[in-house]
C-alpha cells in the first residue's frame, strides 16, 4: 500500500494488481484504476493521476463531470443501471450519499478500505468494504442501514467496478443439466449484458466468471478483468457499456418484490463481489483465484481421497452383501473413500418418496448402517453418505405431518420437480427438526466422515410467510451447514445440486468440493471441467471415472479416455467395478495409482489450458510452481479438417531449463493411435522455450482418445 500524504487519495497494491480510489469529493469515492500494478507511485504524484482521469465536461451534458463512484447514483449524473434501487412507500427513491468516514488498514497482508457514507434526507447509511488480498484478488461488499422510522424496501444493491475502454470482448458461461459451463463470447456492445439467475440456487446456467478483455484474449494471452457473484440464491451479474464512455462489471443478489424490507435500524449486506485482473489471459485469472482459495484457513489440507460413489453401480438397489463386495473391489483398486448414495432412508426405493424422513430404512438395513460402515472402515477407507436435506417428497411422513413446512405461494404448491418440494428452512420449527435429524444421524454413526449434500430442484414460487423467500432460504441453508460443521468439525461436505447447479464461492466457504455435473461422459466432462477450472482449482472439483457406456448420453468410451479426463481433479469412480473383468480391474488400479502419484502436483500446481488452433484438439495441464515438473493431457474431441492438427505447445515451463517429455508411465497408451512419421519417441528432451514456442507433433489420436504427458526438468 503506497504511503499517503492525503488520506483521501488511496493507492492499494497487492500481487500484480493496483486499486486507486479518489475520495476527495463530498460523495462516495470513485475508482480511478483497477488493474495492472502501477508500481510505487510517489504519494505526491497521486493527485495528478486523479486529476488526469476526471472525465471532461462535454457539450449537451451536465455542467460538471459525471462521477462513477463505488455506488453509481443518478444524483451524480449516472444514467446507467443504478447501484441502489429502493424506496420508502414511494419516497427516498434517489440518494445522494455523502462521505463521513474512510478507514484504511492492512491486517494479515490484505489491504482494506471501509467507506461510510450517509444520506440524512433518505434516512440511509451505506458502508462499502473493499479488500485487496495478498495475491491481488479484490472483493467488494455493500451494507445498507435504514436510519429512519419507516420501513425501506431494497430492490437492488449491486457493487460495480469500472473497466477501461480497451476491454472490447465479453466471455461468460451458460448451460443446463449435464451440460454445464458452456462458454459464449461476443463483442462488448453499448448497453447492458445482464445475466440473471432465478433458480433459487446458483443454477446450471450460472456464469462462474463474467470476463471482459482485450480483443482476441485467450487462456494464455490478453488483458482481462472478471467478476464473480458469491451467492447461492437468485443473483445478477452485469457488464454495461455506456455511450457516455464508462464500462462496468458488477454483480449482486437478485431480489424479488418485497423480499428485503428493512425496519428501523436494520441492515442488508450484499454478497461478496470477487474481482480479478490479469495481463496473462484467462489462466492468469485462474491462477489468482486458485491461489486465493488455497490460502483460505478452511481449504482442504489433507490429500483428497480417491472416492467411489455407488450411485451408478447400484442406484436404489441397496443390499448389504452386494455393497460389501463392492467395497472389497474398491479397496483392491485403491479407493480411499466409499460413499453410499440415495436409497438408504425410510421408504426410499425410488425418487418419488421418502425425502424428509431421515431415518435409516429398517426393512433394507435391519441392523442399521453400522455393518457396512465397519466393513468399509475395516479396509482403511472413509465412509460417506448422500443426503438431500433441503427437500421433501409429498409422499413422506414429514410432509404428511407438516405440509406447512414447504416453500409455497399462498394457496398452492409450486409445480413438482423430481416429485419433490422444498422445505422452508426459514421456518424455525422446520430448521430445528432438520438440524436435529442430521445431527442425530452423524452422532449415531460416528464413522460417517463425509456428506454428499444434494439439492435437486429449482426454487419456484418460493414463498415464506406469504412473501418471497429465496434470500431467507439461502441464509438458512448457510446456517445449517455452519452449525453442522461446528458440531462435527471433522465432517467434509460436497456441494451437489443436480450436478453443478450450486457452484459458487459462498457455498464453498462451507463445503470441501463440488460435483461439477451429473454426467460422467468423458467427452462432455472435458469441457465442463475445463471451464469449471476457470474459477476452482482441481482439488475442489469431483471428477469420476464412469462406466464404459454413459448413462446420461449413451456414449461408449475406453477406460483410458475416461481415466485421463477424470485424472485432473478430486479423483473418483462411479461404476459397478464388481462386474468388470480382471484385466479391466488391473488397468483401473494402474490409473488410480497414477493419480495418487501425481496428486501432490495436480492439487497444488498451476493449472494451464492450451490455445490450440484446431478445435478438435483440447489440451490442459498442471505445472509445479517451481516449474520443475508438469503433467499435460492432450485429447481429440472430434475429427480434424487437417490430417495433422499441428504441434501442441506446452505452456508454463521455465524457458531457460531443459525438460524430458514422455508418455505417462505405468498405464497403457491409447490404442489404435494413427502414428505418422517415426512415431512417438519414448522421450524427448528440449528447452522449455522450445516446448512453449515450437511445441511437439504428437501421435494423431482418433476422436475421443487422450494422451497423457509427464514433463520433468533435467538440469
Q: Which of 390, 336, 374 is nearest to 596 (CA)?
A: 336
Which residue numbers are catalytic? 454, 518
Mean pLDDT over residues 333-352, rounded? Answer: 97
Give the pairing of strands 705-713 and 629-636: antiparallel
- Residue 659, Cα to own-chain centre: how many angstroms? 33
Place of cell 502436483: 601
Q: Which of 52, 49, 75, 80 is nearest to 64 (CA)?
A: 75
Angle at 219 between CA 218 and CA 221, to 5 degrees: 60
- What cell numbers appear for 463 in the block? 414463498
* 221-271 per-position pLDDT tens digit: 999 999 999 999 999 999 999 998 899 999 999 999 999 999 999 999 999
With contact defined as beta carbons under 8 Å apart, do 21 and 30 qualify? yes
Report the alpha-carbon distance of residue 114 to residue 126 in Å, rounded: 10
Residue 341 labeled ligand binder: yes
Between these two residues, 8 and 614, which has the higher pLDDT value? Answer: 614
Report the alpha-carbon distance of residue 174 to residue 580 in Å, rounded: 36
Report the alpha-carbon distance of residue 609 to residue 108 in Å, rounded: 32
Residue 178 labeled ligand binder: no
Is the pLDDT at 674 greater than 60? The verdict is: no
- Residue 571, Cα to own-chain centre: how many angstroms? 17
Residue 105 labeled ligand binder: no
Residue 342 labeled ligand binder: yes
Q: Is 484 exposed, middle or buried (0-12, 13-18, 19+ CB in 10 A)?
A: buried
With contact defined as beta carbons under 8 Å apart, do 484 and 439 qualify? yes
User: Count of residues for the chain?
Assistant: 715
Angle at 493 between CA 490 and CA 398, to 5 degrees: 110
DSSP state letter for 334: T
Which pLDDT value is given to residue 671? Answer: 59
Which pLDDT value is given to residue 568? Answer: 97
Which pLDDT value is given to residue 151? Answer: 98
Long-range pairs, 689-695, Cβ under 8 A, ≥24: 689/655, 689/656, 691/649, 691/650, 691/653, 691/659, 691/661, 692/649, 692/650, 692/651, 692/652, 692/653, 692/655, 693/649, 694/647, 694/649, 695/647, 695/648, 695/649, 695/650
Residue 294 labeled ligand binder: no
Place of cell 444434494: 454
Report the alpha-carbon distance of residue 361 to residue 347 in Å, rounded: 7
Report the alpha-carbon distance of residue 580 to residue 577 in Å, rounded: 5
* 117-170 per-position pLDDT tens digit: 999 999 999 999 999 999 999 999 999 999 999 999 999 999 999 999 999 999
Angle at 619 between CA 660 and CA 652, to 5 degrees: 50
Q: Which of 384, 385, 379 is nearest to 327 (CA)?
A: 379
pLDDT band at 642; cut points 50, 70, 90: confident
Residue 518 labeled ligand binder: yes
Which pLDDT value is given to residue 5? Answer: 46
Is the pLDDT at 320 greater than 70? The verdict is: yes
Any alpha helices (H) in 516-569, and if so which ranges? 522-532, 559-567
Report the alpha-carbon distance of residue 149 to residue 306 in Å, rounded: 57
Torsion of CA 702, 605, 333, 588, to 10 degrees: 0
Report the alpha-carbon distance of residue 7 to residue 21 in Å, rounded: 10
Between these two residues, 405 and 674, which has the higher pLDDT value? Answer: 405
Q: Which range, of 369-383, 482-496, 658-672, 687-701, averages the lowest pLDDT?
A: 658-672
Which pLDDT value is given to residue 677? Answer: 41
- What percent of the chain is modeled with pLDDT above 90? 88
Which pLDDT value is given to residue 299? Answer: 97
Which pLDDT value is given to residue 688? Answer: 98
Residue 108 labeled ligand binder: no
Per DSSP, the three-state class of 96 is coil
- What cell numbers appear for 612 in the block? 490450440
Which pLDDT value is given to residue 659? Answer: 98
Residue 418 labeled ligand binder: yes
Which pLDDT value is given to residue 60? Answer: 79
Residue 531 labeled ligand binder: no
Which pLDDT value is given to residue 681? Answer: 55
Which pLDDT value is given to residue 68? Answer: 87
With contact defined as beta carbons under 8 Å apart, do 365 and 348 qualify? no
Which pLDDT value is given to residue 698? Answer: 85
* 57-92 per-position pLDDT tens digit: 888 788 777 778 999 999 998 999 999 999 999 999
pLDDT band at 680; cut points 50, 70, 90: low
Q: Which of 161, 111, 152 is nearest to 135 (CA)?
A: 111
Transcribe 381-402 into DSSP letters. Answer: -EEEEEE-TTEE-SSSHHHHH-
Structural domains for the chain? 8-175+195-247+272-279 (2.70.98.60), 307-558+567-577 (3.20.20.70), 607-713 (2.60.40.1180)
With contact defined as beta carbons under 8 Å apart, do 387 and 438 qualify? yes
Q: Please, what is the average pLDDT of the chain?
A: 95
Report the alpha-carbon distance of residue 49 to residue 623 in Å, rounded: 39
Between these two residues, 6 and 151, which has the higher pLDDT value? Answer: 151
Residue 496 labeled ligand binder: yes
Helix%, strand%, coil% for the chain, nearest 5: 20, 30, 45
- Residue 696, Cα to own-chain centre: how many angstroms? 33
Mean pLDDT over residues 407-428, rounded? Answer: 96
Helix or strand holding residue 24 (H, E) = none
Q: Is 641 exposed, middle or buried (0-12, 13-18, 19+ CB in 10 A)?
A: exposed
Which pLDDT value is given to residue 59? Answer: 81
Q: Which of 145, 149, 141 is nearest to 125 (CA)?
A: 145
- What cell numbers appear for 685 in the block? 528432451
Amino acid at each position: 500500500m503506497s504511503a499517503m500524504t492525503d488520506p483521501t487519495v488511496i493507492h492499494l497494491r497487492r500481487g500484480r494488481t493496483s486499486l486507486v480510489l479518489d475520495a476527495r469529493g463530498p460523495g462516495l469515492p470513485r475508482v480511478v484504476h483497477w488493474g495492472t500494478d502501477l508500481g510505487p507511485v510517489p504519494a505526491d504524484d497521486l493527485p495528478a493521476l486523479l486529476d488526469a482521469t476526471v472525465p471532461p465536461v462535454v457539450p449537451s451534458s451536465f455542467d460538471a463531470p459525471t462521477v462513477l463512484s463505488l455506488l453509481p447514483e443518478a444524483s451524480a449524473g449516472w444514467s446507467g443501471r443504478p447501484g441502489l434501487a429502493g424506496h420508502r412507500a414511494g419516497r427516498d427513491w434517489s440518494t445522494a450519499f455523502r462521505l463521513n468516514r474512510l478507514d484504511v488498514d492492512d491486517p494479515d497482508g490484505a489491504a482494506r478500505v471501509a467507506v461510510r457514507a450517509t444520506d440524512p434526507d433518505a434516512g440511509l447509511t451505506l458502508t462499502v468494504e473493499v479488500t485487496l488480498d495478498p495475491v491481488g484478488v479484490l472483493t467488494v461488499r455493500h451494507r445498507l442501514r435504514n436510519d429512519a422510522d419507516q420501513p425501506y424496501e431494497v430492490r437492488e444493491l449491486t457493487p460495480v467496478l469500472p473497466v477501461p475502454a480497451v476491454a472490447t470482448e465479453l466471455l461468460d458461461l451458460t448451460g443446463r443439466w449435464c451440460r454445464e459451463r458452456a462458454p459464449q463470447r461476443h463483442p462488448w456492445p453499448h448497453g447492458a449484458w445482464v445475466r440473471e439467475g432465478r433458480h433459487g440456487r446458483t443454477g446450471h446456467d450460472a456464469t462462474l466468471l463474467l470476463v471482459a478483455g482485450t480483443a482476441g484474449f485467450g487462456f494464455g494471452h490478453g488483458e482481462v478483468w472478471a467478476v464473480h457473484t458469491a451467492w447461492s440464491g437468485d443473483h445478477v451479474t452485469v457488464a454495461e457499456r455506456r455511450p457516455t464512455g464508462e464500462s462496468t462489471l458488477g454483480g449482486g443478489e437478485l431480489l424479488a418484490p418485497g423480499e428485503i424490507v428493512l425496519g428501523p435500524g436494520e441492515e442488508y449486506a450484499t454478497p461478496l463481489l470477487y474481482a480479478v485482473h490479469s495481463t496473462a489471459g484467462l489462466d492468469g485469472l485462474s491462477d489468482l483465484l486458485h491461489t486465493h482459495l488455497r490460502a483460505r484457513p478452511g481449504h482442504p489440507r489433507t490429500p483428497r481421497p480417491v472416492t467411489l460413489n455407488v450411485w451408478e453401480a447400484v442406484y436404489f438397489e441397496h443390499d448389504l452383501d452386494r455393497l460389501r463386495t463392492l467395497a472389497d473391489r474398491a479397496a483392491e483398486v485403491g479407493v480411499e473413500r466409499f460413499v453410499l448414495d440415495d436409497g438408504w432412508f425410510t421408504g426410499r426405493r425410488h425418487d418419488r418418496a421418502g425425502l424428509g424422513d431421515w431415518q435409516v430404512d429398517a426393512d433394507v438395513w435391519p441392523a442399521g448402517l453400522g455393518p457396512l460402515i465397519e466393513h468399509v472402515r475395516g479396509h482403511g477407507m472413509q465412509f460417506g453418505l448422500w443426503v438431500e436435506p433441503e427437500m421433501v417428497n409429498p409422499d413422506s411422513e414429514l410432509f404428511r405431518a407438516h405440509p406447512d413446512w414447504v416453500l409455497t405461494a399462498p394457496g398452492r404448491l409450486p409445480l413438482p420437480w423430481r416429485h419433490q418440494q422444498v422445505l422452508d428452512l426459514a421456518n424455525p420449527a422446520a430448521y430445528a427438526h432438520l438440524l436435529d435429524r442430521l445431527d442425530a444421524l452423524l452422532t449415531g454413526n460416528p464413522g460417517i466422515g463425509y456428506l454428499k449434500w444434494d439439492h435437486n430442484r429449482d426454487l419456484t414460487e418460493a414463498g415464506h410467510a406469504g412473501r418471497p423467500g429465496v434470500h431467507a432460504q439461502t441464509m438458512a441453508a448457510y446456517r445449517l451447514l455452519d452449525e453442522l460443521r461446528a458440531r462435527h468439525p471433522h465432517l467434509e461436505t460436497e456441494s451437489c445440486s443436480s450436478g453443478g447447479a450450486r457452484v459458487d464461492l459462498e457455498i464453498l466457504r462451507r463445503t470441501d468440493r463440488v460435483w461439477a455435473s451429473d454426467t460422467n461422459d468423458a467427452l462432455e466432462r472435458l469441457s465442463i471441467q475445463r471451464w469449471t477450472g476457470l474459477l476452482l482449482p482441481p482439488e475442489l472439483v469431483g471428477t469420476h471415472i464412469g462406466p464404459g457406456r454413459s448413462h446420461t448420453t449413451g456414449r461408449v468410451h475406453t477406460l483410458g479416455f475416461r481415466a485421463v479426463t477424470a485424472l485432473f481433479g478430486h479423483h473418483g469412480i462411479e461404476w459397478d467395478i464388481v462386474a468388470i473383468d480382471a484385466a479391466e480391474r488391473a488397468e483401473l488400479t494402474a490409473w488410480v495409482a497414477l493419480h495418487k502419484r501425481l496428486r501432490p502436483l495436480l492439487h497444488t500446481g498451476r493449472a494451464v489450458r492450451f490455445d490450440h488452433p484446431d478445435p478438435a484438439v483440447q489440451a490442459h495441464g498442471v505445472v509445479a510452481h517451481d516449474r520443475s515438473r508438469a503433467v499435460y493431457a492432450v485429447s481429440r474431441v472430434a475429427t480434424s479438417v487437417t490430417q495433422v492438427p499441428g504441434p501442441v505447445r506446452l505452456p508454463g515451463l521455465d524457458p531457460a531449463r531443459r525438460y524430458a517429455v514422455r508418455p505417462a508411465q505405468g498405464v497403457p497408451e491409447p490404442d489404435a493411435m494413427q502414428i505418422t512419421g517415426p512415431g512417438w519417441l519414448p522421450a524427448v528432451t528440449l528447452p522449455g522455450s522450445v516446448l512453449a514456442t515450437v511445441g511437439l507433433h504428437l501421435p494423431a489420436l482418433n476422436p475421443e482418445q487422450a494422451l497423457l504427458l509427464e514433463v520433468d526438468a533435467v538440469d
